[in-house]
Chain A
Amino acid sequence: MDRERRQVAPEEAHVLVVEDNVANFVLVARLLAFAGIKNCEWKTTGWGVVEFAKTMPQVDLILMDLRLPHEDGYTALLQLRDDPQLADTAVVVITAQATAEEMAKAQSAGFDGFLGKPLDVDNFPDQIYNILRGEEIWDLGA
C-alpha cells in the first residue's frame, strides 16, 4: 500500500472500534488503554461508519470486525475508501473468522491488517504500535 499515512503517537491516536460483541469491545478497549491509547470510540454496526467517523475529531485507526449487523466490515470498508476524507485511514480487521482464506480475502479487499481472535494479548500492544507507525499486521491470532 502506498497510501500516505500520518504517523501518530499512541497517546494522541484516535481509534474507532467497530464491534458488535460487548465483551470483546471491552477487552479491546482495555488492551488499547493498557497500550496507552486514550481516545477510543465504539460502534456496533458497519452501517453509518463514515458518518460516525466524521463526528470524531480525528481517526487514526479503525479496528473493524467483519461480521456485523446491517452492514458488514467489507461494505463499511468500501464506503470508507470511497470517502475522500477517510480513504487513507488505516483499517485493520479484528475477527473471529480467523482463517487464511478470510485473511486473504481481507487483504485483497484493501484492509491494512488482520488480527484474528482470540487476540494475542501479549503481543497486542506492539501490534497496535506497529500499525500506528504505518506498518501492516497480518496475524491469525492465538
Chain B
Amino acid sequence: MPDGTLQANQLFQAGRQINAATNMRAVFQCLVDYAAESGVVDLAFLLAPDPHALDYLKISNLWNHESHGLGSGKNHFLRGQHPSIQLIEAHIPVLIADGSNDSRLDPQMQAVFNRLQAGPCAFLPLGTEMQWMGALVLGRTKDKLFDQPTLQPFLNLCGQASVALNNLLLLRETNALYSISQTLSQTLTSEDAFLSILEQVARFTGIAHCRITLFDEQTRTGRERYHFDLASNSGNAVTNNEGPVFPMGSGTLYALLQNKGTPVLCMAGNKHCPADAAAFLADQQLNALYCIPIMGQQDVLGFLALDSNSGDRPFTVSNKNFAQNAVAQLTTFLENISLFAEANTRAQELIQINQVVSRLAGILDLDRLLDVLIEEVNRLLTVDIFFLVRFRPVVDGYDVLRYVIDGQSQITTRTKRHAPSLPDILKRGGVLTGLSAQSLAAEFQTYTSRTPQSYLWVTYQEEQQPAGLIGVHAYQAQAYSENDQHLFRSIANQAGMAITNARLFQRTQDNVAEFRLLFTIAQAAAARVNATERLNSMVQALHQGLRGHTIVVYGIHSGGNRLELLAHAGDLVPHPLLTLTGGLSGQVARLTQPLLVNNLLELTEYDTEIEGAAAQLSAPLLTGQNLVGVVTVAAGETDSFSERDLRLVETSSVGLAATLESTRLFDNIQATNERLRALDQLKNRFLANMAHELRTPLNAIIGFSRVILKGIDGPITSKQEEDLTAIYENGQHLLLLINDVLDLAKIEAGKIALVIETIDLAELLTNIVSTIRGVLHDKPVSLQVEVESGIPRIEGDKIRLRQILLNLLSNAAKYTAEGQISCRIAHVDGEHVQIVIHDTGVGIAPTDFGRLFRAFEQADSTSRSAQGTGLGLPISKSLVEMHHGRIWFESVLNQGSTFYVLLPVRQPEAGTTI
C-alpha cells in the first residue's frame, strides 16, 4: 500500500471512529490513537479544561513511545494569567520548536515536554470559534521539526473531532436541559426547584459554586438564598442573613438586570462592574460572577450566579447557554407555580363562596339569613366586630341591621341620619380599606373596648341598587389580605342577592298578610248592619291584625275643630276629646298626612293623647277630599312600628273612612226618617182631627138645613126651600170631600186593612145602580147593566168594592149629559172577572191621561161643574190595587170613556177580620 494511500485510509478510519464516539474521552482517544499509528509523532496527548474544575486544564489520553508517565499531580494546569495558556487557548494551531525549553510556555508545561523527552511540539485546537474545547498536543524528538504536510492530516482530523465534540456537548446540554425539565415537572415547591436547578447547572458547567439570590419586596434587598458546592456535591438553602446584600431599588446590579433582562458579567477590577457586585466579589474572594436574571412577570425576582476565580473562562458559551436555558425553565416553573397558586387560591375562594351561597340560599327569613351570614363571614375572615348597615335614601338615613362585637350582638339602632359622604360611598360601591374604612366605621361605631387595627368595608346591592354596607374589623394589624378583600366582596354580592330574595319573599308574605287583614276587616265590616257596630268590629279586626296594639278612631266633631273618640280597641286608654292643635292625631287631621313616631318620649312638643303611648302612628280618614276622622295606632314600647304598618293602616283607613261616613249618613237618614215619621203621624193625626172638626159643624149645617127643609120647624117659602137646599147640598159635598181626603190619607199611610169576605158582584151592583138611577133621573141618559151568567162570587172587601163601583158609576153619571152608561161584569178566565163601565160623556183629554189617577188633579175646569173631589179615581185605583187587581181606561174626548177593573176571584192571602 503506498504511503499516501495508507495515510488516507488511516485518516478515514479515525474520522469514522470519531463520529461514532459517544463521549469526549472517546473522541480524544481516537485522536491520540491516530497519532500513535501515524508514525510521524513520538508523543500525543490532550490538553483540555477539566470538566470538574474549569479553572484547570488537564492532560489526558497520553501516548508516547517509551510509555513514560507524568507522575501524580503533574497533569493539572491552573488556567492563570500565564502567557502560554493564552497562547494555547487562542484557537489557532501553535508550533513550537522546543517545547521543553521555550519561555512562552508555562514552566510546568515545559517540564512535561522535558520529561517526555520531546523538543518540537504542536498545539492543534479543538472546538468552535465560540468555544475552545482543548488541544491535541503532538511532540517529536528534538531533531524532527514539524512541517505543514505532516500536520495537515491532524488538522483535518481535529476539525472532524471539533464537530463531534460540539455535537456531544450539545447533546449533553440537551440531555441536561431535558433532565431539568423532567425534574421540575416533578417538583412541587419553588425551593426544590431552586436547588435542583443549581445542582444541574453546577454539574453541567463544572463551576465550583453556583448561587441563587432573591430579592425581597419587604426588605427591598437581594440576598443569597440557595447555594450549590460542586466539591462537596451538596446544595443548601441559605437561611442566615449575613454577608453583603444587593439593594433592590437602588442597587446597581438590580438596575442592570432589571433594565436588560439579560445576564450580566461582573469582573473584579473592571470599571463596569456594578458596585454591589464588586463588594460581593471582594467579600467572597472571587474575581468574576456571571449573573442570570430570574424574571417575574414585571420585575426581577433574583438571579442565578456562577462563580469564577479565573475571570470569564469558565463562562463558556455552552455553560452560559445552558445556565440561561436552565434559568428560563426555572422562570417558567415559577410562573406556573404562581399561576397554579393563584388558580388554587381562586378555586379555594370559589369553594368558599359556593359554601356561603349554599348556606345562604333558601333562607327567606331575614333575621336568620343575617345570622348565617355572620357565621359565614366569621368562618372565612378574622372578625372581631361585624356591621351590617342598610341605607334608607327616602329618609336620608340608615338602619344598623346587625352590630356584633366579640361575638356579642349589640342593640341595633333604627333610622339614624347619616353624614353626607355616605350616599357617595354607596354610589361608588366596592371595597373600602385602611383609613377610608376606618373613618366610615367611626360613623356607625358606638362602643368598643379595644381599638381595631384592621378595617374592611364593602358595599352591597339589593335589586341592582346600592343598598348598604357590610363591615368587619379586627384587633390584629393587617388581618385582611388582598384575597380576603376579594372574598369579602364576593360574599357581599351573594349576601345582597340573598337579602333581596328574603326581602322580596317577606314583601310577598307581608302583602298576603296585608290582604288577609284587609279581608278580615272587610269581612268584619260586612257582617254588621249597624254602622257603629261595623266600625267597632273593624277596629277590633285591625287591633288583632296589628299585633294587639291599641287602635283608636277619632271622628271630626260636629264643630269641626275637635276630634271625638268613636271607637277603640286595646289596652291603652285614649282621651275622649282632642283639639286639633295639641297632639299628633290633631296634626294628622290638620295636615291630612299620615305620621309615624317611634319614640314619642323624644317629642316633647306634642300633648299626650293616649296614656302610656311610646310610639304612635296616625293616618287621616278621608272620603275623597273630606276629612272625616283620624285612625291612630299606639304602643307602649318605642320602635314598635314599621313603614309596613303605616302602609297597612293607610290602606285600611279607606274602609274606616267609608264606614265613618256611612255612620254619619246612616245617622242622618235615621234622623230624617224619624222626622218624616213624626211628620207623617202629625199629618195623620191632623187629618183625623180635621175630619172630626169639620164634621162637627157640618153635622149642624146639614142637620138643621134638613130639619128646616123637612118642615119640622114650620112651613117655609119656596125661595127659602131653594136656598136651604143649596146649603144642604153643599154641606153634603163638603162632607164627601172630607171623607175622600181622609180615605186617601189612610190609604197612603197604609192604614186601611181590607175586610175580606165572599161577595156576589151582581147583588152589589144592583144596590149601586139604584143609587145611580136616582142621580140620573132627570137626565136623558140610559143605564144598562149586564152580568154574564155564572160569574163567580169573588173575595174582597164589600165596602171598598162598593166604593170603587159607586165612584166609577157616579163619575160616569156626573160626566155624561146625554146618551148611555153601561156596566158589564164579565169572565176573563177562571181566576179573574172584569168590570167594564162605559159612558158617552165628556171623555178625557189625552193630556190628562197621566194625572187622572193622581190625587188632587181633577182633569180640567170644564168638568168642575160636575162637582167632584178629584180624589175618587186615585182612591179607587189604590183600593183596586189593594185587591191585587188593575184599573185602566180608554177615552176619546167628547165621545166618552171606558173604565176597566180587573179583579182576581181569590185574594192571595187570608184577609184580616176586625
Contact = CB atoms under 8 A, between A and B. Distances in A.
A23 B696 CA distance: 9
Nearest to A25: B700
Given A30-B712, A34-B712, A117-B699, A97 B692 contact: yes
Interface in A85-142: 95-100, 104, 116-119, 121-122, 142
Contact of B710 (A21, A67, A95, A121): A121
A117 B702 CA distance: 10
A31 interface: yes
Contacts of A23: 697, 700, 704
Contacts of B731: 118
B703 A121 contact: yes
Nearest to B692: A96
Given A30-B712, A118-B735, A96 B699 contact: yes
Contacts of B20: none
A27 interface: yes
Nearest to B702: A118
Contacts of B697: 23
A67 B698 CA distance: 16
A117 B696 contact: yes
B702 A21 contact: no
> For B691, B703, B704, which residue has the most chain A Cβ atoms within 10 angstroms?
B703
A99 B742 contact: yes
**Chain A at the B interface: mostly helix, strand, loop or mixed?**
loop
B712 to A, nearest CB: 5
A121 B735 CA distance: 15
Contacts of A98: 695
> For B696, B706, B713, which residue has the most chain A Cβ atoms within 10 angstroms?
B696
B696 A24 contact: yes
Contacts of A21: 696, 700
A122 B705 CA distance: 12
Given A34-B712, A100-B799, A122 B706 contact: yes
A117 B799 CA distance: 19
> For A96, A100, A118, which residue has the most chain B Cβ atoms within 10 angstroms?
A118
B707 interface: yes
Nearest to A121: B706
Contacts of B581: none
A95 B732 CA distance: 17
Contact of B704 (A27, A96, A116, A142): A27
A30 B707 contact: yes
Nearest to A116: B695
A96 B696 contact: yes
Nearest to A21: B696
A14 to B, nearest CB: 22
B703 A118 contact: yes
A96 B799 CA distance: 20
Interface string A24-56: 100100110010000000000000000000000
Interface residues of B, number: 26
A44 B735 CA distance: 25
Nearest to B742: A99
A31 B706 CA distance: 11
Contacts of A122: 706, 710
Contacts of A95: 692
B442 interface: no
A24 B692 CA distance: 13
B699 A24 contact: yes
A67 B732 contact: no
B695 A96 contact: yes
A121 B914 contact: no
A27 B700 contact: yes
A43 B130 CA distance: 172
Contacts of A118: 695, 698-699, 701-703, 731, 735
A27 B692 contact: no
Nearest to B700: A23
Contacts of B702: 118, 121, 142
Contacts of A30: 707, 712-713
A10 to B, nearest CB: 15
B705 to A, nearest CB: 9
A121 B742 CA distance: 23
B673 to A, nearest CB: 26
A22 B706 CA distance: 18
Interface string A4-25: 0000000000000000010110
B757 to A, nearest CB: 14
A7 B742 CA distance: 38
A126 to B, nearest CB: 14
Contact of A121 (B695, B696, B707): B707
A124 B167 CA distance: 172
Interface in A54-101: 67, 95-100
A30 B698 CA distance: 16
A98 B799 CA distance: 15
Given A23-B697, A30-B712, 20 more contacts: A21-B700, A24-B700, A30-B707, A30-B713, A31-B703, A31-B712, A96-B694, A96-B699, A97-B695, A98-B695, A99-B742, A116-B695, A118-B699, A118-B735, A119-B703, A121-B706, A122-B706, A122-B710, A142-B702, A142-B735
Interface of A: 21, 23-24, 27, 30-31, 34, 67, 95-100, 104, 116-119, 121-122, 142
7 contacts: A31-B712, A97-B688, A97-B692, A98-B695, A118-B695, A118-B698, A121-B710
